Amino acid sequence: MANVNDNASIAKVDMKLEVVVIPVSDADRAKQFYARLGWRLDADFAGANDFRVIQFTPPGSGCSIQFGKTLTSAVPGSAKSFLVVSDIVAARDKLVAAGVEVSEFFYMGAQGRVSGLDPERRTYSSRATFSDPDGNGWLLQEVTTRLPGRIDTGVTSFGSASDLANAMRRAEAAHGEHEKRIGKADPNWPDWYAEYMVAEQSGAELPK
């Protein structure tokens, strides 16, 4: 039986989630759908005994999806997954423009699901959903600040130019409030922006 020390040693080994397999009934139809989303096609390999694997990676994601033939015994359409975005309005607009049917926005209030964007645009709150042709569900979730403990505070990165730009816009708005409080222009704004963006991503206390 493993002891606590053994578990601590395992926790120090990097284990990066690489691929999630989703069940589909028609690989070519699924390939067309995920290509339409603008996801990167990494592979399309066929082998003996009707084997086939197709891999796509969403923009800015460190994890990919795979589907094909003989990959999984799960029922097509039974997968449910989350996609994190920094601007859910922009993400939904792009999906709709690509011909994808996306739900209206909603958020989870004190009494359950509420229609519309979260009024305060709180991180983890605003959501929308869509499905692939088999019914595999995807939930868009707007995340702008990670909760404490959910990110390595020693590493700060942005998955795409869009994520970085949105972080800079939030920092700009917050810095404007900062300058109102101090009653003058802040010549050290680059350092303030950097501190804000790192703190926001890691869930640390934001600068005032």
Domain boundaries, the chain: 16-142, 161-202
DSSP annotation of 3: -
Torsion angle of C-alpha atoms 107, 108, 112, 116, degrees rounded to 10: -10
What is the CATH code for 16-142? Answer: 3.10.180.10
Tokens of 31: 């390939």
Of 166, 173, 203, 165, nearest in space to 189 by CA: 173
- Amino acid identity of 91? A
Cβ atoms of 103 and 130 within 8 Å: the answer is yes
Tell me how far apart the alpha carbons of residues 143 and 41 are, in angstroms, rounded to a whole number: 25
Cβ atoms of 128 and 105 within 8 Å: the answer is yes
Per-residue pLDDT of the chain (208 residues; tens, 9 = 90+): 555 555 656 666 778 889 999 999 999 999 999 999 999 999 999 988 888 999 999 998 889 999 998 899 999 999 999 999 989 999 999 999 999 999 999 998 888 899 999 999 999 999 999 999 999 999 999 998 877 666 655 566 676 777 788 888 888 888 888 888 888 888 888 888 888 887 777 667 788 7
